[in-house]
Structure 1
Amino acid sequence: MTVHPGIFKSYDIRGVYGKEIFDETGVAVGKAFAKVLQPKTVIVGRDARISSPALHDALIQGLTSVGVNIIDVGMVSTDMYYFACATKKLPGIMITASHNPKEYNGFKMVRQIPYLLSGDEGIQDIKKLIEDDTFPPIAKTPGKVETWQVMPEFIQKMLSLVDTAKLKPMKILCDTANGMVGPTLTELLKHIPQIKMVPMYFDPDGTFPNHAGDPLMAENRKELQERVPKEHADLGFAFDPDGDRFFCIDKTGRFVSGDFMTALLAQYFLKKSPGSAIIYDIRSSHAVPDLIKKAGGKALYERVGHAYIKKRMKNENAIFGGEVTGHYYFADFFYCDSGVAPMLFLMDLLSGSTQTLDQMLDELEKTYFISGEINTKGVDAKAVFEQIEKIYAPQAKEIIRIDGITMKMGDWHFNVRASNTEPLVRLNVEATSAKLMEQKRDEVLAVIRKQ
């Protein structure tokens, strides 16, 4: 079958519905998944996108036609889907395009929790099977479909992560971007009455009528950042539409970077489990390894991407892992990422501290000056790396090449890498002063954008 080659990504299958992904793609993905994994039963879930019901039905048609049984968990968040796969010890397929614009959709495939199919481990196999029309034979008896309302069990799992009775009263604005987390928070917080939640855009709506889904984009969290101080809230929480990432605003309206959140949560976990390993991504601020080491932990960097972080966590028996993009991974949650779990852990951290979050951030921002991730489109990544090496390698004190290029110069450092998911070159810079960071950020960016 002819299929758009660009839909096969590093971590999922994803594209524009009606242009790159069609209902017949769903049928084919189901059949090919059955051939690659040869499962007896598969968990199937979907997000709230307009095209998700049609792709859901097509996927189930493909799977059942070759004899695979289905446990259909319906409309769920990605972390709820991971929970279902982990609980049943089954592979699964989630129909979602995460935080992509509304016209996109796709398939996120679990081999065995915590491992997903990725570009070099399963997705290319599925691509070849679809292109060659090499599917399992049609079964004499189609697979059966049963449904499972997984939310009550997921809520109990989340409530087991912290002692909710010890959480301090807080007023929190929560923006779920008309994605999948709103219904979960509504149910979860019935069990934590001392938390006053102010809901923003809790109704799942695949047209995303209020703002686009990615909270890393400043315009998508602007309203939350304005409302938190105006409404005298303690915190603001933002989630992406499929619910596998978590973002936080302090009471002043300041956005908490993923680096600093990783550093703070790492200290929290090391109090619970002294000496443990923590995995962080190569782009991270030095705040992350510094605070891990200060708390007596083992700080281990890894290349960007959930496949690498999860594998390293399991290999090192790490208790926690974090990425600057708001993905947080927990040994207590099957080494998977979740949006709801870090929310609970952060509330627990703050409930046990004499400091507020803004005070913690004030301390970090006196020492660590970070650029945040800056993207550049339309440049040749290979040419960028060659030029970066030529200019900066002679003065670098340390060079790390596990994910693009990381160069450490003493009082500043940077990482330049090609995106795994988009045609972009990404830059992160950190320095010991705001002035130096801005100077070096602009300098390296000029090199990148000349290519």
Structure 2
Amino acid sequence: MTKKRHLRRREAIIQHIDSSIFKAYDIRGTYPEQINEDVVYRIARAYAQKLKPSVTVVGRDMRVSGPSLLETIRRGVMDEGSDVIDIDMTTTSMYYYAVNAFNAAAGIVVTASHNPEQYNGLKLTGTGAAPSVDFVNNDELHKIADEGHFMQSTRVGKLENASEPIDSYMKAVRDTSGIKDFGGLKLVIDAGNGMEGIVLPKLLQNADCDVTPLFWEPDGRFPNHEANPLKEETLAGLKQKLSEIGANLGVAYDGDGDRVGFVDEKGQHIPGDIVTAILAKRMLQDKPGALIIYDVRSSWAVREEIENAGGRPLMWKCRHDLIKKKMHETGAYFAGELSCHYYFANFHVTDNGDLVLLNMIQIMLSEGKTLSELAKPIMRYFHSPEINF
């Protein structure tokens, strides 16, 4: 094979790709030192080369480097022959939905989740929005991208600029949750200047509840605080506002909207595993006797609560790719992690913070209890917090 048959010759590549940016199930690094336009172009091409998708959904979060990275990702995927549907700004949960809604064989979203502003990254998925590591391991993906030996494709893919699929996503989320009533609850919701700021106004439009928004303007510089609901210090403003107005519930999303944390009416942060137990009981009302997965870091009370509600508990390894794979293998109906990721089999086996919020509201209303009253009997053992940020 001659060098002329390569679209990109080795000598034209300006840097090796740092292998440390390839994490267990996604790609993250500092911009532009580790993640830049050349790097993501090669990763996008390498991924399209392995999966050979006919259609790839792409999008981005609100980070400053997002638009230029997304443009080169589109070009990389199209140069490999795949058509591209660009949904532009999106939460990760809405991106998962779009991959399924458009029946795409692959997806790439530009996001570094809750990481500080100097970071950016990629979350890659295959059919059904399953994690990329189900299709190609990161060592192999790194090798192909780093070598950069890409042959000229027989065709260049076409680009479709789809409007953000937010309206159909809203309907799907609300229909899946079954919510009809918000009960006039008083809510304080902190989006942390992350992507939930584009979702929440429509998710809660015309809802019979009183919402106080905190930092709903998407801003990848995170001017107010890190968008990470696991860190107590990021919840300070939420707790203060909750106390000031006497709200029923405090809610905090991470940067890309797939994780959500809760603060009760007394200002206490409710750990993710306790939320898993609360949600599991509602899921078991929908599907009695279902298998429910919880991660190994969870309180013993989670297993006990699932059993008491008639469910079949399964403790499994933490990490979203491992949990999703186990859900597919076992037919589990719901799963939750201490890290505030919650997974729904009835929503494409994906994690979705919006579904969690709507379900929590319904639980509080149907039980006629505050979040502290729901959580207190479950918090009966010593609890170790999530420390792997």
**TM-score normalized with structure 1 length:** 0.80
2: distance between equivalents of 1:145 and 1:114?
Answer: 20
Q: Give 1:117 shift.
A: 1.3
Counterpart residue number, 1:256: 270
Q: 2:144 aligns with which of 129, 147, 155?
A: 129
Q: 1:176 aligns with which of 188, 191, 195?
A: 191
Closer/same/farther in 2, CA of residues 159 and 119 from structure 1, 3 Å limit: closer
Closer/same/farther in 2, CA of residues 43 and 114 from structure 1, 3 Å limit: closer
Counterpart residue number, 2:386: 373
2: distance between equivalents of 1:147 and 1:114?
Answer: 20
Counterpart residue number, 2:133: 118
Counterpart residue number, 1:86: 100
The structure richer in strand per residue is 1
Q: Give 1:113 shift.
A: 2.1
1:271-350 aligned within 5 A: 271-350=285-364
Query: 2:100 aligns to what SS in structure 1?
Result: helix
1:19-418 aligned within 5 A: 19-90=33-104, 91-118=106-133, 121-135=136-150, 137-139=151-153, 141-149=155-163, 150-192=165-207, 194-365=208-379, 367-374=380-387
2: distance between equivalents of 1:314 and 1:292?
Answer: 20
Q: Give 1:142 shift.
A: 2.2
2: distance between equivalents of 1:168 and 1:140?
Answer: 57
2: distance between equivalents of 1:35 and 1:121?
Answer: 11
* 1:282–1:301 CA contact under 8 A, matched in 2: yes
Deviates more, 1:293-302 or 1:83-92: 83-92
2: distance between equivalents of 1:289 and 1:347?
Answer: 23
**Cα deviation code 1:309-350 (max 9, x no counterpart):** 111112221111000000000012111001111001111111
Give the number of equivalent residue pairs: 373
Query: 1:370 aligns to what SS in structure 2?
Result: coil
1: distance between equivalents of 2:267 and 2:187?
Answer: 12
* 2:126–2:135 CA contact under 8 A, matched in 1: no
Q: Which amino acid aligns with 2:86?
A: D
Q: Give 1:162 shift.
A: 2.8
Q: Which amino acid aligns with 1:17?
A: Y
Counterpart residue number, 1:405: none
Deviates more, 1:289-298 or 1:166-175: 166-175
Counterpart residue number, 2:3: none
Counterpart check, 1:14 vs 2:28: yes
Closer/same/farther in 2, CA of residues 119 and 317 from structure 1, 3 Å limit: closer
Q: Which amino acid aligns with 1:335?
A: V
Q: Give 1:67 shift.
A: 2.0
* 1:8–1:127 CA contact under 8 A, matched in 2: yes
2: distance between equivalents of 1:362 and 1:39?
Answer: 48
2: distance between equivalents of 1:256 and 1:335?
Answer: 24
* 1:67–1:138 CA contact under 8 A, matched in 2: no
* 1:10–1:119 CA contact under 8 A, matched in 2: no
Once superposed, which parts of structure 1, at least 4 consecutive aligned residues long, lie more than 6 Å away?
none
* 1:42–1:71 CA contact under 8 A, matched in 2: yes
Structure 1 segments unaligned to the other structure (5+ residues): 376-421, 423-451
Closer/same/farther in 2, CA of residues 133 and 296 from structure 1, 3 Å limit: same
2: distance between equivalents of 1:94 and 1:58?
Answer: 12
Deviates more, 1:164-173 or 1:284-293: 164-173
2: distance between equivalents of 1:285 and 1:172?
Answer: 27
2: distance between equivalents of 1:16 and 1:253?
Answer: 34
* 1:270–1:296 CA contact under 8 A, matched in 2: yes
2: distance between equivalents of 1:374 and 1:35?
Answer: 37
Q: Which amino acid aligns with 1:254?
A: Q
**Cα deviation code 1:191-246 (max 9, x no counterpart):** 42x12111110010010001011111111111101221221100010000100101
Q: Give 1:118 shift.
A: 2.7
Counterpart residue number, 1:401: none
Greater relative contact order structure (CA < 8 Å, 6+ sep): 2
Q: Which amino acid aligns with 1:11?
A: Y
Q: Give 1:145 shift.
A: 0.7
Q: Give 1:160 shift.
A: 0.3
Q: Give 1:133 shift.
A: 2.0
1: distance between equivalents of 2:98 and 2:270?
Answer: 30
2: distance between equivalents of 1:102 and 1:65?
Answer: 30
**TM-score normalized with structure 2 length:** 0.93
